[in-house]
Structure 1
Amino acid sequence: MPIGGAVIAIRPADMETATTQLLALAGVEIHGADQRGNIVAVLETQTCDEMERLLTAINECPLVLHAGLTYLNMEDQLADTVNTRTRPTGEDGAGV
């Protein structure tokens, strides 16, 4: 499950409306904001593709000037990928 930290830039005057719009998106949690219009958010999705779509949706919000990931953790998803690969076996059929 990818989890990302994002900074979302908006105009300070739009803070309340933008916050409401962002919180309406599934997977967005807002953890802070400053008076300059920077919002700190955590994004959580099931897949990397969903993370990409969520970040695109945030950037397409009319009040958002820019949104970018500052942190991305995909350890769970990478572990699932590694665990589903076929492992080589020895002559006796046991794993190497």
Structure 2
Amino acid sequence: MSIKLFTNELSAVYDDSLRQMLISDFEIIQDAINEMLDNQLIIKRQQSDIKETQTTIESKIRVQDENMHELVNILTKYDVPIQIVNGKVVETEEGE
């Protein structure tokens, strides 16, 4: 996305040096605005990529937690002294 300012449309009523200074200033402003707009697009794309990565990671963590709970449930059925405490799988003493 870019913006084109009318830099060469200034009336010749002004003296030529002032006209040239204003044209130069407008061109500098135009370049700065266009750079900001380009950076804004890049930032939006990066934010989208970060959100997508975050969603993927959260999904993988959920699946991992579900698998861990299922594994602990299976092992418990076979009298393996194991349980989840504070999100960690720990071995328990017999009879706990």
TM-score range, shorter chain: 0.3 to 0.5
The structure having more radius of gyration, on CA atoms, is 2
Higher RCO, Cα 8 Å, sep 6+:
1
Report the structure, 1 or 2, having the larger helix content: 2
Report the structure, 1 or 2, having the larger strand content: 1
TM-score (structure 1 length as normaliser): 0.35
TM-score (structure 2 length as normaliser): 0.35
